[in-house]
């Protein structure tokens, strides 16, 4: 009788222990299953040569459901990319955007958001009152636009030339979220003359403020045939001035990477990009470049322009493209 009672107690204790162990294991499985997958905003490649280091960011906007692409700017003055990265840890990438006047900190690029004109070059007295620019003002105020559209539950992107802007190219069922005019357009064709970046008189070049044919630091934004966003930063490589790419060179590099439509962003001293490597996949050979950036708050700043002594140029900016990841 006593033996039977002891046996039953042991069986009951073992059963309770088994149930507790099973409960803990199930909790562990549930916790693992519901844990958020890491956010991957895109893929990064680096092509190096003695003339240019080309960083290419393939941004997976279609599958990164937590990612938002938008333009930010300070209400007054100018700010560096590091300022924006430090201000908001949800910004996983920031790159220079439109043109501006460093003397007064005012934009020379049009920026609209939800139909409201937020950055208006026509309000810049140094631009509008400059007699040497008077022949080109209409082209300066109507340049190629990067547009973000809301089409139902999907977000679409467009690169629209000045001629297309006049034809109202927003597809049916879509609404414009924001638009930044930069340029010139690079693909399918470079349109520097049509947008007032270059001008000739009697065959002689009389206007070329961005040095379209010269090697320089550059930034460009493009779309592939399936709508993938591709961002390119061309870094100068040495103390020599003759490094970087021309606009034709950037167009060719973008086309090589599958881009079918592209526009240039502000280049030269403005060319810069900052990103948090923890949110990107990197091509082979880039592991050493991003070593130590496992911390999701850590970011790398890439400044593309070099001075004659080889030091990089860190320039504050007006408008900045940012990629936010809601995590």
The mean pLDDT value for 254-280 works out to 96
Give residue 23's pLDDT. 38
Tokens of 198: 């270059």
Helix (H, G, I), strand (E, B) or coil at 289: coil
CB 244 within 8 A of CB 304: yes
Helix (H, G, I), strand (E, B) or coil at 2: helix
Helix (H, G, I), strand (E, B) or coil at 145: strand
**pTM for the model:** 0.86
The mean pLDDT value for 131-151 works out to 95
Residues in the chain: 327
d(CA 304, CA 135): 32
- Return the sign of the alpha-carbon dihedral for residues 276, 160, 264, 108: negative
CB 221 within 8 A of CB 229: yes
> Taking Cα atoms as reference points, which of 192, 182, 267, 196 lies closest to residue 232?
267
Radius of gyration, CA atoms only, the chain = 26
pLDDT digits (tens, 9 = 90+) for 283-292: 866 764 555 4
d(CA 121, CA 99): 10
Range in 45-54, 65-74, 194-203, 206-215 with the lowest mean pLDDT = 65-74
Range in 47-61, 238-252, 262-276 with the lowest mean pLDDT = 238-252
**Strand 106-107 to 100-101 pairing:** antiparallel
């Amino acid at each position: 009788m006593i033996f039977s009672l002891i046996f039953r107690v042991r069986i009951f204790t073992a059963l309770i222990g088994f149930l507790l162990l099973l409960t803990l294991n199930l909790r562990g499985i549930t916790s693992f299953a519901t844990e958020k997958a890491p956010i991957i905003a895109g893929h990064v490649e680096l092509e190096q040569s003695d003339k240019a280091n080309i960083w290419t960011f393939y941004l997976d906007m279609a599958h990164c459901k937590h990612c938002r692409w938008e333009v930010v700017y300070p209400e007054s003055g100018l700010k560096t990319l590091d300022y924006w990265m430090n201000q908001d840890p949800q910004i996983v990438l920031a790159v220079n955007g439109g043109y501006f006047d460093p003397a007064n900190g005012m934009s020379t690029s049009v920026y609209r958001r939800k139909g409201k004109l937020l950055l208006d070059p026509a309000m810049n007295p140094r631009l509008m009152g400059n007699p040497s620019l008077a022949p080109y003002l209409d082209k300066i105020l109507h340049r190629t636009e990067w547009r973000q559209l809301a089409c139902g539950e999907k977000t679409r992107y467009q690169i629209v030339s000045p001629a297309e802007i006049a034809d109202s190219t927003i597809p049916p069922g879509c609404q414009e979220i924001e638009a930044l005019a930069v340029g010139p357009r690079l693909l399918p064709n470079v349109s520097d003359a049509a947008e007032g970046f270059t001008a000739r008189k009697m065959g002689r070049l009389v206007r070329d403020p961005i040095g379209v044919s010269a090697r320089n630091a550059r930034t460009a934004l493009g779309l592939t045939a399936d709508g993938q966003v591709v961002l390119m930063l061309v870094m100068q490589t040495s103390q020599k001035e003759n490094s970087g790419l021309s606009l034709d060179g950037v167009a060719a590099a973008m086309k090589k990477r599958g881009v079918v439509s592209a526009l240039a962003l502000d280049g030269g001293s403005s060319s810069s990009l900052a990103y948090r490597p923890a949110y990107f996949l990197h091509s082979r050979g880039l592991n050493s470049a991003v070593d130590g950036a496992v911390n999701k708050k850590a970011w790398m700043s890439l400044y593309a322009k070099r001075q004659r002594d080889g030091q990089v140029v860190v320039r504050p900016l007006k408008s900045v493209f940012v990629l936010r990841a809601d995590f």
